[in-house]
Amino acid sequence: MFGSPHFFINFFILLPCINLPDLWEELLRQNYSIIHYLKYIGGIKLFKYFNGLLYPVEVSYPDPEFGRVMFEHYGGKDSEFSAATQYMNHSYNMPNPYVSELLSLIAAEEHSHMEMVAASIQKLGGHPLCYVNSQGVPWSIEYVDQSLDPIAMLQADAEAEIRAKQLYNLHFTMTCDPKLQRMIRFLGEREDVHQHLFEKARALILQNAPLDSFRRLITEYRMSFPTA
C-alpha cells in the first residue's frame, strides 16, 4: 500500500467463522496495520500486532520549534489522543453495531496518527514525549465528549474532525519542509474522511434507515485508504 507502511487499524469481522491463518497471510500481504483487533468470532477477542507506521514520516532537517508545535496533535485539546479516546468511548456507548464498529476502526486509526506525530516530534528534535500541548499544558479529560445520545455523539465526533483538520491546515503553513507537509496533508485528508463518515452515520440515524444500510459505512471506510 505505502512505501514503508505502519498501518494501524482495527478490523472487526462479523463472520461466524473464518480461516485465521489465511486472514493473517492476506493482511500481511497487503501490509495492513499495527493492530488488527477481531471481535465477534465466537465471542472471542483476538489481537494481532504488526510493527510499522501508517504513512512514512520523514523530515528534511531538525526543527525543535516545529517539534514543539506538533505537540498540539499529540497532547492538545484537538489532538489525536483526544480523538482516539473520545471515539473509543463513544463506540462502546453506541447502540448501533455498525456505527460502533466504525467508531472503533477510526479510534484505532487515530492512534496510528498519534504514532506518526510522535515520530515526527522525535525526528524534529523536539522535547521528550508527554501528554501536553505546545505550551506545556497537560492533557485533560475535559477535552473528551462523553455524550450518550447517538446523534450528539456523532455530531461531537464530526466537529472534532473539523477542528483537527483546521489545526493541520494551520500547521501546514508553518513549515517549509516538503516532507513534513506531505505527512500533514495526509493526516488532514484522513480527518476529512472521518468527518464525512460521521456525518453520514448521523444522517442515516436521523432517517431511521434500516440497520443493514449502515453496513456500507464499514465498506466505505475500508475503501478510503490510498492504494499507492
Q: What is the CATH number of the domain that holds 180?
A: 1.20.1260.10
Sign, CA torsion 126/130/134/135: negative
Question: Is the pLDDT reported for residue 10 higher than 90?
Answer: no
Does some domain include residue 33? Answer: no
Higher local confidence (pLDDT), 21 or 5 = 21
Residue 212 CB neighbours (<10 A): 8
Per DSSP, helices labelled H in the chain are 20-29, 64-69, 71-75, 80-93, 97-124, 150-172, 178-206, 215-222
Region of 39 on the Ramachandran plot (φ > 0 left; ψ -120 to 50 alpha; else beta): beta
Contact 26, 9 (CB under 8 A): no
pLDDT tens track for 28-69:
444 444 334 333 334 444 455 556 888 999 999 999 999 999
Those residues with Cβ within 8 angstroms of residue 42's Cβ, 6 or more apart along the chain or in another chain: 16, 17
| Residues β-bridged to residue 138 | 132
pLDDT tens track for 132-183:
999 999 999 999 999 999 999 999 999 999 999 999 999 999 999 999 999 9
Does some domain include residue 183? Answer: yes
Main-chain phi, psi angles of 66, to 5 degrees: -75, -30
Does some domain include residue 170? Answer: yes
Residue 150: which of 193, 214, 212, 105 has the closest Cα?
A: 214
Contact 75, 85 (CB under 8 A): no
Higher local confidence (pLDDT), 207 or 4 = 207
Does some domain include residue 142? Answer: yes
Question: Is the pLDDT reported for residue 5 higher than 60?
Answer: no
Does some domain include residue 13? Answer: no
CA 23 to centroid of chain Cα atoms: 22
Residue type, 35: I
Task: Give the pLDDT of residue 52.
Answer: 80
Does some domain include residue 187? Answer: yes
Number of structural domains the chain divides into: 1
Residue type, 206: L
Mean pLDDT over residues 73-90, rounded? 98
Residue 181 CB neighbours (<10 A): 15
Contact 32, 9 (CB under 8 A): yes
pLDDT tens track for 96-140:
999 999 999 999 999 999 999 999 999 999 999 999 999 999 999
Does some domain include residue 86? Answer: yes
101: cell is 464498529
Residue type, 209: A
Domain that holds residue 148: 57-222
CA 6 to centroid of chain Cα atoms: 13
Distance separating alpha carbons of residues 96 and 91, to the nearest angstrom: 9
Does the global pTM surpass 0.85? no
